[in-house]
């Protein structure tokens, strides 16, 4: 799979910049700083595929296809209806789970729709990632390559041998993680299931408190990844903020969904309008009940 074989990008960033700029500039004060920090693209690496190739990261070569089964689940009724989608995935090799960035670029505030990033990377399955590009902290290792080493929170590490661990970013380094065999990291959270049980206190934890961020508590659209066993994963996308279709779930409710699916470990990813699942060439879920995706900075995917 070569860069020449990928489809032309369909960027949505310019319209978002124009809208956000109008709001921020009208606010006065520190709006120019906020516009630059949270809206304007800051590209650090403009060709991620070439960068990863230069670092020795290659497309997985495992034989056999990943087994993927996607199902829709609806519970409750009326205003209490919850609709979510489950992808039960068994990999033949842990490196089949890959990451890709919007516009094939690494940096801040670079976004595309999940389906667009998926199509550009020949993905058969994808979910939104941790929206690393909204912040400048966290350990970011993707496809075995270090992109950022600013430990700040509880992360999730995927190892090449199929092991998946919740870890403290501030107690290690990206270099050490790669040396230990880490293939991908996620930096969002919180971890919601450990050792098959709901993690205490997730009904009050917050991930970021910086400008423009919102609480992750309450009934929300959600994306989560769970580990059932070595190379056996479950991905869940919960729709929300849509009366009569799906109200969303709290973090404890999300934890119980993951436990019910057999997850021994589960981790919360970016949610809200970003929560999206893509499979077999199409968007699976219905973001915010509007059937329209919101741009994100990264995805986790399985190639064809």
**pLDDT at residue 4 in the model:** 37
Domain count, the chain: 1
Q: Could you read off the pLDDT of 116-170 as tens digits, one per residue?
A: 999 999 999 999 999 999 999 999 999 999 999 999 999 999 999 999 999 999 9
pLDDT at residue 214 above 90? no
User: CA 280, CA 188: separation in Å to the nearest integer?
Assistant: 27
- Express each pLDDT in 221-246 by its tens digit: 999 999 999 999 999 999 999 999 99
Measure Cα distances from 219 to 33, 51, 203, 243 in Å. Answer: 32, 39, 11, 12
Containing structural domain, residue 189: 3-303
The pTM (predicted TM-score) of the whole model is 0.87
**How many whole angstroms separate alpha carbon 161 and alpha carbon 147?**
21
Given this model, what pLDDT does residue 36 score?
62
């Amino acid at each position: 799979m070569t860069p020449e074989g990928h489809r032309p990008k369909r960027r949505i960033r310019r319209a978002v910049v124009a809208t956000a700029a109008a709001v921020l500039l009208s606010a006065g004060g520190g709006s120019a700083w906020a516009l630059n920090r949270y809206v304007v693209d800051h590209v650090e690496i403009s060709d991620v595929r070439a960068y990863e190739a230069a670092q020795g990261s290659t497309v997985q070569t495992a034989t056999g296809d990943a087994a993927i089964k996607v199902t829709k689940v609806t519970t409750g009724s009326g205003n209490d209806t919850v609709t979510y989608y489950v992808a039960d995935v068994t990999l033949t090799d842990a490196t089949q789970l890959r990451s890709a960035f919007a516009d094939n670029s690494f940096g801040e505030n670079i976004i595309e729709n999940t389906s667009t990033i998926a199509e550009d990377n020949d993905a058969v399955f994808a979910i939104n990632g941790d929206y690393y590009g909204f912040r400048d902290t966290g350990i970011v290792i993707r496809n075995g390559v270090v992109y950022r080493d600013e430990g700040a929170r509880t992360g999730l590490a995927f190892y090449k041998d199929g092991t998946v661990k919740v870890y403290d970013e501030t107690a290690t380094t990206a270099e050490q993680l790669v040396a230990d065999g880490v293939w991908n990291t996620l930096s969002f959270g919180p971890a919601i299931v450990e050792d098959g049980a709901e993690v205490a206190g997730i009904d009050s934890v917050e991930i970021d408190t910086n400008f423009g961020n919102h609480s992750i508590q309450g009934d929300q659209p959600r994306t989560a990844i769970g580990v059932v066993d070595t190379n056996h994963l479950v991905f869940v996308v919960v729709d929300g903020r849509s009366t009569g279709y799906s109200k969303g779930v709290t973090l404890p409710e999300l934890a119980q969904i993951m436990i019910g699916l057999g997850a021994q470990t589960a981790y919360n990813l970016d949610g809200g309008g970003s929560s999206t699942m893509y499979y077999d060439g199409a968007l699976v879920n219905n973001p915010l009940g509007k059937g329209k995706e919101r741009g994100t900075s990264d995805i986790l995917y399985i190639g064809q």
